[in-house]
Structure 1
Amino acid sequence: MSDWLGTGTLVGGRVTLRPFTIDDADALARVVGDPARFRWAPSVPTDVESAAEWISAALADPQRRVAFAVVDNTDGRLVGSTSFYDIDPANLTAAIGYTFYAENVQGTRVNPTAKYLLMHHAFDQCGAVRLVWHTHESNTQSRAAIAKLGATFEGLLRKHRRFGDGWRTTAQFAMIDEDWPAAKAVLLERTRD
């Protein structure tokens, strides 16, 4: 686990973020449901075997990525994934992503609560100065969700990632430590029970 952003479990309101284990493969495979919902994602696990491979890859380099299972505290079910990745402790920066949720929790408090927990940990507990989000330029739902967190759109990164048989242009958003207090207040209001 990253010496800088690595953590155990993060808990707040409706959500618990806990490190993934390979034992989560079955539950993670059930999260995706219809893979067409994730047409903008490079890959999502669609069965137990691909979920086990996905988790193994997520855990392979804990200095660069810290992957969390997202658990809904109302019923204890694993309902998604989110991660710190591109962790750069020398520059106190990281990206947040590899996020996907079960259809029944999309549009609920789950995502803003999960992101609040990650951002609070990074900015308030670990001294981060910059967090970044990447998404496919055409993923309007993801772009709107990221903007709603208070992140600033910084531009498009052409041919940034491989995608299918071609390349993806990535929309990049970021938040710096000076932006966090205002974003934090909005997120706390959005996640209030």
Structure 2
Amino acid sequence: MPPFTDFTRPITLTGPQARLEPLSHDHLEGLIDATRDGELWKLWYTPVPAPERMAAEIDRRLGLRDAGSMHPFTVLDAGGRVAGMTTFMNIDAVNRRVEIGSTWTRAACQRSGLNTQSKLLLLTDAFERLGCIAVEFRTHRLNQQSRRAIERLGAQLDGILRSHLRMPDGTLRDTCVYSITATEWPTVKTHLQWQLDKPRSA
């Protein structure tokens, strides 16, 4: 195994509404349970591992970590229940850039504060520990739920890569590329903390 860099060294990130732990096979059963909540693997516009593929997906992400291109996390909710997965991916240590992606969340935790808390933890780590100049987010042009969530973070649309990727079902994905830059981070951080602190409607 190659030595870890600052970008890939296992680290746990903790906030009031979410805890991000280094991905491991110890999380397998919890991740299988999480993906069954909403049968997320049936969503055609975003790749989520099916229960029988979860162990292989953990292996894939840990392999990318060892290659230096991904830092994978398991996301837990405030009660310690496994809620999903997220990563720093497409790591560019030379230019101090990362993408936050390969993210999915069990249905019961969607539209809660968990996603905002997770992104605040990841962005704080990226900008304040790793010294990133920009953080990217990418999603399918037709994944309106994901696009709205990214835009609520304060990320700006850089552009759309047309016919960018071939999906598992053979369709072509137009990829929306968003980013937050280091100069924008202080304002975005204040905005995210305000979102977490304000009362949520029932």
Same-fold call, TM cutoff 0.5? yes
Q: Which of 78, 81, 84 does residue 77 from structure 1 map onto?
A: 81
Q: Residue 185 of structure 1 aligns with which residue? A: 190
CA RMSD of aligned residues (A): 1.5
Query: Gaps spanning 5+ residues in structure 2: where?
Result: none
| Equivalent position SS for 1:59 | helix
Cα separation, 2, equivalents of 1:10 and 1:35: 25
CA shift digits 1:89-139 (9 cap, x unpaired)? 100101001111111110100000000000000001110001101100000
Cα separation, 1, equivalents of 2:77 and 2:40: 21
How many pairs were matched up? 190
| Equivalent position SS for 2:89 | strand
| Equivalent position SS for 1:61 | helix
TM superposition shift of 1:167? 2.0
Do the aligned partners of 1:133 and 1:173 also contact (CA within 8 Å) in 2?
A: yes
Q: Residue 136 of structure 1 aligns with which residue? A: 140
* Superposition pairs of residues 153-192 of structure 1, within 5 angstroms: 153-163=157-167, 164-192=169-197
| Equivalent position SS for 2:154 | coil
Give the TM-score of the pair, scaled to structure 1.
0.93
Cα separation, 1, equivalents of 2:170 and 2:183: 39
1:32 aligns with 2:35: yes
- Partner amino acid, structure 2, of 1:178: T
Q: Which of 79, 84, 102 does residue 106 from structure 2 map onto?
A: 102
Q: Which of 4, 7, 10 does residue 5 from structure 1 map onto?
A: 7
Q: Residue 67 of structure 1 aligns with which residue? A: 72
TM superposition shift of 1:88? 0.2
- Partner amino acid, structure 2, of 1:67: P
Query: Gaps spanning 5+ residues in structure 1: where?
Result: none
Cα separation, 1, equivalents of 2:11 and 2:41: 32
Q: Residue 112 of structure 1 aligns with which residue? A: 116
State which drifts further: 145-154 or 2-11: 2-11
